[in-house]
Amino acid sequence: MPNANHAPLPLPAVHPVSPVAEDLGRRFQDAGFRLALVGGSVRDTLLGRLGNDLDFTTDARPEQVLKILRPWADAVWEVGIAFGTVGGRKDGYQVEVTTYRSEAYDRTSRKPEVAYGDTIEEDLVRRDFTVNAMAVALPAVEFVDPYGGLDDLARRVLRTPGTPQESFSDDPLRMMRAARFAAQLDFEVAPEVVAAMTAMADRIEIVSAERVRDELNKLILSDHPRKGLRLLVDTGLADRVLLELSALRLERDEHHRHKDVYEHTLTVLEQAIELETEGPDLVLRLAALLHDIGKPRTRRFEPDGRVSFHHHEVVGAKMTKSRMTKLKYPNDLIRDVARLVELHLRFHGYGNGEWTDSAVRRYVRDAGPLLERLHKLTRSDCTTRNKRKASALSRTYDGLEARIAELKEKEELDGIRPDLDGNQIMQILGVGPGPLIGKAYQYLLELRLENGPLEEDEAVSALKEWWAQQS
């Protein structure tokens, strides 16, 4: 059913995408083959958002495609040839040409079995959604839409060309793509598709963690991630791929003494997106999505009736590492997201803004290169409807940022180090490398954080005094 919140999309007439596509179509025609622009390329053309990636389908087999592409393209690659796809680059466009095909999973396989087809209709029916099952035959520029994709595009609805059960059996990852396209395009998912996703959610478990992760990233980096994440949770897919998000739907006590953590999390994500300044930030968005996942494990009902979540940031950081590792995220991304989750409450540990210079230095030191993201995450974490409270928190954080800027003018805050390095410490103490040098270094670092920069003679004197106490 169409999205009741949107008017139907006004769709432009189909027209040649570029001279590159028409030229390639003529070359295939001259060689005795059919070629069509297909899938997302046609959908995005109709939406007026086509980029430089062009997808084509053909009745030519991969070896024949290579013979046509090699003398024409600026570069050609065969990475996907086992799946019937040959890639290339021409005049700034990335092109992929795939032989008509059908692919299906058995009950345990993680990789599709490829079989080539003979007609474009046969190829289109195996695609994920009707809005991706449209084609433009080239070079004649004839619109091919056997499954009503144009109508669905205009109505902003996602349906499958065949039955959703058949589609999701062929490739279970399409269930996650439904959530991703809903988030990217702000479309609704047809009721029968949602029902099939719910009934077949366990099929996602045969898909590799890497493919699941990539779809999840595209969803999170979209313009409307809340819509896609809700669909994952409501259909039970999140229980298989991001259980921690589903677990945030805590039962609230009868007096509603703690906020809805699930809704709060989705709101924090949206507010973090509003603070982005240089495009979608995967680290910030993942941290916003996962910042409170430690709450279900740490929730306690106190004797006075309050609900507490003590140390949920520490527990949440460990859970973040575990989940992101299972999804095969890169180690540096895991480290950064988990660190932000661990630090997201640090601001609130300093009361009402009585920030000493020492506290500011430690805040900056602990955040390191993540400081700007921590600023955005901390601000996003305020979802109170109490305008006075929200305003007070905002002013307090404004004050912290001003203090950081003020201290940065006076001293080096980025990469705070002791006033003496390891070599100087060994020379002054007359000892070689070992655990004591590490302790001395740490002692001087604490002095630096507490008191700011010291003159060299002050640092030497402090070191000698510490050394005498150790002896």
The pLDDT tens digits of the residues spanning 102-133 come to 755 565 665 666 788 889 999 999 899 999 99
Residue 255's pLDDT is what? 44
Most confident of 24-33, 98-107, 307-316, 359-368: 24-33
Overall average pLDDT of the 327-348 stretch: 96
Span 2-11, average pLDDT: 49
| Amino acid 144: pLDDT | 93
Rounded Cα distance between 108 and 422, Å, is: 56
Q: What domains can be seen in the chain, in order of their start residue?
A: 1-152 (3.30.460.10), 243-410 (1.10.3210), 422-470 (no CATH)
Q: Which two tokens stand for residue 424?
A: 């100087």
What's the mean pLDDT in 378-394?
86
